[in-house]
Amino acid sequence: MNMDSMLQVRNLKKYFPIKGSLFGAGPSYVHALENVDLDLYKGETLGVVGESGSGKSTLGRTIIQLEQPTAGKVLFEGKDVSALKGEELKRFRTNIQMVFQDPYASLNPRLSVGYAIAEPMIAHKRFASKAETKEATEELMKKVGLQPSMASQYPHNFSGGQRQRIGIARALSLNPKVLICDEAVSALDVSVQSQILNLFNALKRELGLTYIFIAHDLSVVRYISDRILVLYLGTVMEIAPKSRLFEKHYHPYTESLISASPEPSTAKRKGRIILSGEIPSPINPPKGCKFHTRCFKCMERCKVEEPGLREIETGHFVRCHLYDEKGRN
């Protein structure tokens, strides 16, 4: 990994309006993302972890401009992509592609998998002839571990792992620089998960790809990531290199996540931390620190004052009043 930031997210907010507020009250919004800042470095895998409802998928979709940001910017290779439209937006999207949890849902059951993989290349007129498109499709199938002879078969003939390989081949068909993988192995059996994770690693080496890897499962994120971003109620709570996070995490939410995972770590050795209650509604998020309603270290100040994201060691950022002064209290 080199330290060139190829993608920057700055103060990114995404609110979804809710239609038909009860009793004629003013408009309500789902606060999916709140002032998210992140850098993605060329060649790295940035893991994004958080519970369901933390805004992980919205973050991926807003970066790729499938959702328009409510406020803030996404810069790719120095260019603000939030304002792109038409052809420019189409060109930008060739650089960043998404791999989804359920490739079956995005595959047309009436089209052969060869066509499903070739479709983006045809739509973007990547090759002048059918023969070149066919050759590129077969190459992609080989790269992801599928037999080119299967190109004429239909999605229902494939297993879950094979369908995910089809989804990955399709995502690679426009030669992207970045893949955003959104729960890309969550629906698979554990043994198949590891095959697909190994495939992602091999493709990264072979093609020089950069990944944002979104998952609720910390062990999956730990396996594949170079750095990890912890998201809670649309807010970045901690970002650190993976090796550091598992030995020296600071945020109480990260501590609870790691203590509950089956992975060896400092928090794990201290015993499991069970958080009280559910993640609050993003329609009416708590004031002050977003985590204060469940935090076992909550102070009076946390209920009224939102902490900022502070760099407490090089490359290690934490949002918590316990660390308002640089270094650990």
What angle (nearest 5°) sits at the alpha carbon of residue 157, between those of residues 151 and 160?
A: 100
Work out how close the CB of 28 gets to ligand SF4 at its nearest, in angstroms, rounded to a whole number: 25
Alpha-carbon separation of residue 307 from 171, 277, 290 (angstroms): 38, 22, 9
Between 31 and 251, CB nearer to ligand SF4: 251
- The answer to the question of residue 292 lying near ligand SF4 (CB under 6 A) is yes
CA 165, 96, 315: angle at the middle one, nearest 5? 105
Should residue 322 be labelled a site residue for ligand SF4 when binding is judged by CB under 6 A? Answer: yes
Residue from 302, 312, 316, 317 in contact with ligand SF4 (CB under 6 A): 302
Verify binding: residue 273, ligand SF4, rule CB under 6 A: no
Residue 300 has phi, psi (to 5 degrees) of -55, -45
- Count of residues that bind ligand SF4 according to CB under 6 A: 14
Binds ligand SF4 (CB under 6 A): choice among 63, 252, 257, 279? 252
> Closest distance between ligand SF4 and the C-beta of residue 42, in Å?
32
Label each residue of 234-290 as H, E or C. Answer: CEEEEEEEHHHHHHCCCCHHHHHHHHHCCCCCHHHHHCCCCCCCCCCCCCCCCCCCC
In the complex, least distance from residue 281 CB atom to ligand SF4, rounded to whole angstroms: 18
Residue 291 as a binder of ligand SF4 (CB under 6 A): the answer is: yes
Nearer to ligand SF4, 196 or 289 (CB): 289
**Buried/exposed code over 68-82 (b: 16+ C-beta within 10 A; e: otherwise):** ebbebebbbeeeebb
Rounded to whole angstroms, how far apart are CA atoms 170 and 167? 5
Per CB under 6 A, 321 contacts ligand SF4: yes
b/e map of 262-273 (b: 16 or more CB within 10 Å)?
eeebebeeeeee
For ligand SF4, the binding residue among 122, 273, 298, 309 (CB under 6 A) is 298
CA–CA distance, 10 with 16 (Å, rounded to integer)? 19
312 forms part of the interface with ligand SF4 (CB under 6 A): no
Asked if 267 touches ligand SF4 (CB under 6 A), the answer is no
Closer CB to ligand SF4, residue 241 or residue 286? 286
Judged by CB, which is closer to ligand SF4: 145, or 285?
A: 285
Q: Which residues pair with 29 in a beta bridge?
A: 17
Region from 28-36, 113-121, 203-211, 296-304 binding ligand SF4, contact rule CB under 6 A: 296-304
User: Applying CB under 6 A, which residues contact ligand SF4?
Assistant: 251-252, 289, 291-292, 295, 297-299, 302, 307, 320-322
